[in-house]
């Protein structure tokens, strides 16, 4: 998400105010601040510590540990659910009223809908919170789809036909391209349902985003090539770019036992037409994970970043590509040529130099 200049200005003002207050307090007491900078030989606290944030020593240690890998290629594990399931939702079961043992979950199988993809909605009303809990019968009194950034002002678009299935849940499959045929612009929509259970009336709603086919800026062709270069592993992905611009491409890499190994983020300007985009999987990441080739590329996805030119509450900062529907098994079958060397560049060195000065008290509040 792009940070607006006004937000940065506000943050700087807040930091300056905090610093002034701390300095004023120290001068009024006619003694140095009681917050120390760890082992700082200068005996005064830092901005981060005095604001109650992480200490400089911890920041330095954490950064050094993380920065052995480049920021665009790092290890992937089963705990990284947001990367392994990049379009998942996070709704949780809620009680139909306070202290009730009847819970409901209204959710869908995805958050972003791109082109002709379908989206499936489901309403579960349970005697408890486990997926296998007994279902509670309900009466649905309203089930609709609305459009708008705010549910309170969103406008009615269509009915949402929730139908009871054989386990007692209510589901609806919606193909936005068929339902919202006149929509040619990306927008925020809401699925809203009102139902009655155990004499309680519940109103639930969830948002989702729809990106019509005409907004798709580029497509993955399904062509790949892989190789080892400069101690790292690369997979080139061919993309047919329909609209030039600044693109962000993400993907996950698995070993030959389909264990998660690494993820990659590639950011670059792309011109219109077919072209190869290299995805980096840093050598030390693969060696540290003891990954077993050949590898499998999955969850290939991307979008074109858009900068706002006029104030618009409904503005979307991206045009989504359709995720690649499939996987690619690499030709490389050996780790020969990969390097165990840690990542290094000028920006990393400058960051460490700054954090080292901070940890020594050279940048702080006296």
- Please state which architecture CATH assigns to domain 100-213: Sandwich (2.60)
The alpha carbon of 86 is separated from its chain's Cα centroid by a whole number of angstroms, namely 7
12, pLDDT greater than 50: no
Model confidence pLDDT, tens digit, residues 92-151 = 999 999 989 999 999 999 999 999 999 999 999 999 988 889 999 999 999 999 999 999
pLDDT score for 122: 97
Per-residue confidence at 39, pLDDT binned at 50, 70, 90?
Answer: very low
Strands (E), the chain: 73-75, 94-95, 103-108, 112-114, 118-126, 139-147, 155-159, 163-164, 170-175, 187-197, 200-211, 218-229, 232-241, 245-254, 260-270, 273-281, 296-305, 318-320, 328-329
Q: Which two tokens stand for residue 259?
A: 């264990």
Per-residue confidence at 355, pLDDT binned at 50, 70, 90?
Answer: confident
C-alpha to C-alpha distance for 235 and 250, rounded to whole angstroms: 12
Closest CA to 107 of 118, 123, 131: 123
Could you tell me the maximum CA-CA distance found in the chain, to the nearest angstrom? 75
Q: Which two tokens stand for residue 219?
A: 């497509």
Closest CA to 162 of 135, 194, 202: 194
Per-residue confidence at 213, pLDDT binned at 50, 70, 90?
Answer: very high
pLDDT score for 363: 53
Neighbour count for residue 63 (Cβ, 10 Å) = 14
- pLDDT, greater one: 78 or 37: 78
Strands 200-211 and 218-229: unpaired
Give exposure, 114-130, as e/b (b: 16+ Cβ within 10 Å): bbebebebebbbbeeee
Mean pLDDT of 178-184: 93
* CB contact at 8 A, 355 and 364: no
Which phi and psi (to 5°) does residue 223 adopt?
-100, 135
Q: Where are the domains positioned within the chain?
A: 5-67+352-359, 73-81+216-329, 100-213
pLDDT score for 279: 98
Mean pLDDT of 273-280: 98
C-alpha to C-alpha distance for 110 and 59, rounded to whole angstroms: 36
What is the CATH number assigned to the segment(s) 73-81+216-329?
2.60.40.3870
- pLDDT, greater one: 282 or 28: 282
Contacts of residue 157, Cβ cutoff 8 Å, sequence gap at least 6: 144, 145, 146, 147, 179, 180, 189
Closest CA to 80 of 287, 257, 263: 263
Which phi and psi (to 5°) does residue 62 adopt?
-65, -40
Coil, strand or helix at 346: helix
pLDDT score for 311: 67
Neighbour count for residue 166 (Cβ, 10 Å) = 5
Strands 296-305 and 245-254: antiparallel
Q: Which two tokens stand for residue 144?
A: 């609709």
Residue 111 burial (10 A CB sphere; 0-12, 13-18, 19+): middle
Per-residue confidence at 35, pLDDT binned at 50, 70, 90?
Answer: very low
- Measured CA to CA in angstroms, residue 15 lies from 8, 37, 51, 312, 356 at distances of 11, 18, 8, 29, 21
DSSP notation for 49-115: HHTT---HHHHHHHHHHHTTS-TTEEE--TT-HHHHSTT------EESSTT-S-EEEEEES-SEEET
- The CA-based angle 318-209-140, given to 5 degrees, is 175
């Amino acid at each position: 998400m792009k940070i607006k200049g006004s937000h940065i200005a506000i943050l700087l003002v807040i930091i300056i105010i905090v610093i002034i207050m701390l300095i004023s307090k120290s001068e009024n007491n006619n003694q140095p601040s009681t917050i120390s900078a760890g082992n700082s030989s200068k005996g005064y606290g830092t901005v981060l510590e005095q604001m109650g944030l992480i200490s400089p020593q911890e920041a330095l240690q954490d950064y050094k540990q993380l920065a052995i890998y480049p920021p665009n290629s790092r290890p992937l594990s089963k705990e990284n659910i947001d990367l392994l399931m990049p379009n998942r939702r996070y709704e949780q079961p809620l009680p139909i009223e306070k202290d009730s043992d009847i819970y409901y979950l209204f959710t869908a199988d995805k958050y972003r809908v791109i082109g002709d993809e379908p989206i499936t909605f489901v309403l579960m009303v349970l005697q408890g919170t486990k997926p296998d809990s007994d279902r509670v019968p309900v009466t649905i009194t309203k089930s609709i789809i609305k459009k708008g950034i705010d549910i309170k002002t969103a406008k009615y678009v269509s009915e949402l036909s929730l139908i009871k299935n054989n386990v007692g849940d209510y589901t609806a499959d919606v193909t936005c391209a068929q339902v919202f045929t006149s929509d040619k612009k990306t927008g925020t929509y809401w699925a809203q349902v009102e139902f009655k259970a155990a004499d309680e009336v519940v109103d639930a709603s969830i948002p989702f985003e729809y990106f019509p086919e005409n907004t798709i800026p580029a497509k993955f062709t399904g062509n790949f090539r892989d190789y080892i270069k400069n101690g790292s592993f690369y997979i080139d992905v061919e993309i047919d770019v329909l609209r030039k611009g600044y693109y962000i491409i993400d993907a996950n890499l698995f070993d030959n036992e389909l264990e998660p190994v690494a993820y990659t983020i590639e950011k670059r300007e792309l011109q219109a037409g077919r072209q190869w985009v290299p995805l980096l999987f840093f050598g030390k990441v693969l060696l540290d994970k003891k990954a077993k080739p050949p590898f499998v590329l999955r969850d290939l996805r991307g979008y074109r970043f858009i900068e706002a030119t006029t104030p618009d509450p409904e503005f979307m900062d991206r045009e989504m590509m359709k995720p690649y529907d499939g996987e690619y098994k690499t030709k490389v079958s050996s780790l020969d040529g990969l390097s165990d060397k840690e990542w290094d560049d000028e920006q990393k060195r400058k960051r460490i130099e700054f954090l080292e000065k901070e940890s020594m008290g050279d940048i702080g509040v006296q």
